[in-house]
């Protein structure tokens, strides 16, 4: 495949990623509550979840995924439960900015895993890779090199689309440093997380 052959996939992925959903809501909530760097780790987790579904689709395992739909329900509920936990943490967060930045759950692994759980449990992501991906990529003819290019395109597109969201949210957090504003910010982040959790549970 030539590089232009990946353009339809890049465009489709960019549109799907830019449409507001639980991933964006949770990422913005993470940026508001913990700052840019933890939100960036969160985005890496989101991308890792996308790569998981991309790999399943390339390996032709969509039928296996369907057969284990019950497992996906468990993962979905676990992801939603973790978002609720984050929402409660943000709601109860202290009003000291330094304490908020250092709060448990803002490190690399917690942020990465929370982002991954959001993507894995997101119905929009599942539909994109298991249903829409085959319409823009000829999966039957993919080579290892093609797959490597798809991985690279996925990572780049997701970062280009999603980093502005967390960048703006993190900037808003930096501007609103006074205790009352930060308290409202934490509760706004909690609302975003709780809304993302509700979407995941309700959406089929």
Range of the domain at 28: 3-136+152-202
Instruction: Judge whether 122 lies within some domain.
Output: yes
Instruction: Judge whether 145 lies within some domain.
Output: no
Instruction: Judge whether 146 lies within some domain.
Output: no
Question: Which of 88, 107, 83 shows the shortest CA–CA distance to 28?
Answer: 83
Instruction: Judge whether 52 lies within some domain.
Output: yes
- Going residue by residue through the chain, which has 204 residues, state the pLDDT in tens, using 9 for 90 and above: 456 788 889 988 988 888 777 888 888 888 877 889 999 999 999 999 999 989 988 887 655 555 555 655 666 676 667 667 767 776 775 444 444 443 445 688 888 988 898 888 787 787 788 777 888 888 878 888 899 999 999 999 999 999 998 998 888 766 655 566 666 666 776 777 677 677 767 765
pLDDT of residue 47: 95
Contact 56, 62 (CB under 8 A): yes
Instruction: Judge whether 183 lies within some domain.
Output: yes
CA-to-CA separations, 157 to 7, 52, 86, 131, 182, in angstroms, rounded:
11, 16, 27, 19, 31
pTM here is 0.70
Number of domains the chain is built from: 1
Alpha helices in 4-129, H assignment, sequence order: 7-18, 22-34, 36-58, 62-67, 69-91, 97-101, 108-120, 123-127
Instruction: Judge whether 23 lies within some domain.
Output: yes
pLDDT of residue 54: 92
Instruction: Judge whether 141 lies within some domain.
Output: no
Tokens 């942020």: give the residue: 111
Instruction: Judge whether 70 lies within some domain.
Output: yes
Quote the crossing angle between the two packed helices 22-34 and 144-175, to the nearest 10°: 50
> How large is the C-alpha radius of gyration of the chain?
17
């Amino acid at each position: 495949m030539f590089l232009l052959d990946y353009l339809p996939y890049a465009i489709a992925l960019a549109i799907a990623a830019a449409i507001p959903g639980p991933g964006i809501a949770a990422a913005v909530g993470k940026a508001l509550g913990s700052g840019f760097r933890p939100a960036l780790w969160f985005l890496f987790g989101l991308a890792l979840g996308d790569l998981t579904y991309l790999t399943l689709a390339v390996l032709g395992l969509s039928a296996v995924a369907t057969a284990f739909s019950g497992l996906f329900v468990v993962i979905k509920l676990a992801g939603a439960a973790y978002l609720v936990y984050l929402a409660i943490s943000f709601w109860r967060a202290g009003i000291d900015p330094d304490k908020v930045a250092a709060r448990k759950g803002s490190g690399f692994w917690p942020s990465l895993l929370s982002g991954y759980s959001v993507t894995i449990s997101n119905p929009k992501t599942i539909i994109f890779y298991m249903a829409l991906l085959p319409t823009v990529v000829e999966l039957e003819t993919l080579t290892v090199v093609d797959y490597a290019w798809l991985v690279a395109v996925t990572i780049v597109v997701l970062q280009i689309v999603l980093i502005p969201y967390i960048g703006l949210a993190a900037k808003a957090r930096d501007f609103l440093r006074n205790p009352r504003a930060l308290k409202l910010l934490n509760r706004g982040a909690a609302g975003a997380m709780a809304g993302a959790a509700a979407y995941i549970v309700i959406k089929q």
